[in-house]
């Protein structure tokens, strides 16, 4: 798989995990690239070489200043997305990474410092692991994915003709007072106090319901 194809697939997952856990997307992508050879060597969809009991796999480790061949157990996932999520969770749940300062560096968008913290905390035995991560990030401009876009709330354009109905409570009271005054002079409202109370903003919810019920009853010929 080409590097750019791998990046296009992993980047959205890595950014989603950065929002959830704080692990820099650039670090996630770079680690996946190193550990899986840009997605070409990921048995069991394990992109990050996280060990476990799902499968046995031949690997190399740097021990006593030399590379040795060994066989170890590794985790298995149903998809690359599952591997990306578990990678972030692995870093969160293993306190040695936080103690090494990894998440502090991530919060400052310092991928160089974060890479060094991963190595210092023992993520990999390769003594050049941090330098390799930084080189991949810089050569592919992966730190651009660390800048997460914030979602802005859509702006609602105000219609000047409708604004009084939505925002102007005084307008509503004035309209109610005028309506009650008109009903009184039309003979549909016996007590002018309703209009006066409306003009003074003194009608409560119960009064308003009573007025509405009275108007409806009279319009339908109900004697009150």
Q: 152 catalytic, yes or no?
A: no
Nearest to 84 by CA among 119, 117, 48, 54: 48
Q: Which one of 5, 17, 35, 61 is the catalytic residue? A: 61
Convert the chain into a string of H (helix), E (strand) and C (coil).
CCHHHHHHHHHHHHHHHHHHHCCCHHHHHHHHHHHHCCCCCCHHHCCCCCEEEEEEEEEEEEECCEEEEEEEEECCCCCHHHHHHHHHHHHHHCHHHHHCCHHHHHHCCCHHHHHHHHHHCCCCCCCCHHHHHHHHHHHCCHHHHHCCCCCCCCCCCCCCCCHHHHHCHHHHHHHHHHHHHHHHHCCCCCCCHHHHHHHCCCCCHHHHHHHHHHHHHHHCCCCC
Q: 86 catalytic, yes or no?
A: yes
Q: How is residue 87 written in tokens?
A: 């990678």
Q: Which one of 35, 65, 81, 86 is the catalytic residue? A: 86
Positions marked active-site: 61, 86
């Amino acid at each position: 798989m080409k590097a750019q194809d791998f990046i296009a697939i992993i980047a959205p997952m890595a950014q989603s995990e950065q929002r959830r856990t704080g692990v820099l997307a650039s670090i996630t992508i770079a680690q996946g690239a190193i550990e899986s050879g840009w997605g070409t060597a990921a048995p069991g969809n394990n992109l990050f070489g996280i060990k476990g009991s799902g499968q046995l796999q031949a690997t190399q480790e740097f021990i006593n200043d030399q590379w040795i061949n060994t066989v170890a157990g590794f985790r298995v996932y149903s998809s690359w997305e599952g591997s990306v999520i578990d990678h972030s969770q692995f870093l969160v749940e293993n306190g040695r990474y936080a103690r090494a300062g990894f998440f502090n560096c991530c919060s400052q968008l310092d991928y160089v410092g974060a890479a060094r913290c991963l190595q210092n905390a023992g993520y990999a035995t390769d003594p050049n692991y941090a330098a390799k991560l930084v080189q991949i990030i810089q050569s592919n401009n992966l730190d651009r994915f660390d800048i997460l876009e914030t979602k802005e709330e859509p702006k609602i354009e105000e219609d000047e003709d409708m604004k009084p109905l939505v925002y102007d409570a005084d307008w509503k009271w004035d309209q109610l007072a005028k309506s009650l005054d008109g009903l009184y002079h039309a003979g549909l409202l016996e007590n002018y106090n309703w209009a006066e109370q409306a003009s003074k903003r003194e009608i409560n919810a119960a009064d308003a319901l009573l007025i509405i019920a009275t108007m409806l009853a009279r319009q339908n010929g109900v004697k009150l």
